Amino acid sequence: MSTTRLRSERLEVRTTKDERALIDRAVAEQGTDLTEFVISNVTVAARRVLADRSEFVLDAASAEAWKAINRRRARDLPGLRRLMERPSPFDPE
């Protein structure tokens, strides 16, 4: 059973003749159509750009270092404590 997605948004790009030829060769090599090729590759690129803004992946050693940092007791910072005890300038009096 296949799922059909309704595509209602249009994306237009301008390319050089050489860029278009390269893209067309890649489309033919993958045996797909231009729309599917562009959408699949552009969405992968978009996810890669946004990944570090929404998801953080650490290798095993880095993950252990991160856990160790988070297990440490919080330091007492007197200046920060005083700041947090002050009334907020945004609270109505």
Q: Provide the strand spans (E) within 1-93.
A: none
**pTM metric for this prediction:** 0.53
Q: What ranges do the domains of the chain cover?
A: 17-85
Asked whether 58 and 66 are in contact (CB, 8 A), the reply is: yes
b/e 23-55 (16+ beta carbons within 10 angstroms → b)? beeebeeeeeeeeebeeeeeeeeeeeeeeeeee
Which pLDDT tens digits describe the chain residue by residue (93 residues)?
556 678 899 999 999 999 999 999 999 999 999 999 999 999 999 998 888 787 778 999 999 999 999 999 999 999 999 999 999 888 876
Output the pLDDT for position 53. Answer: 82
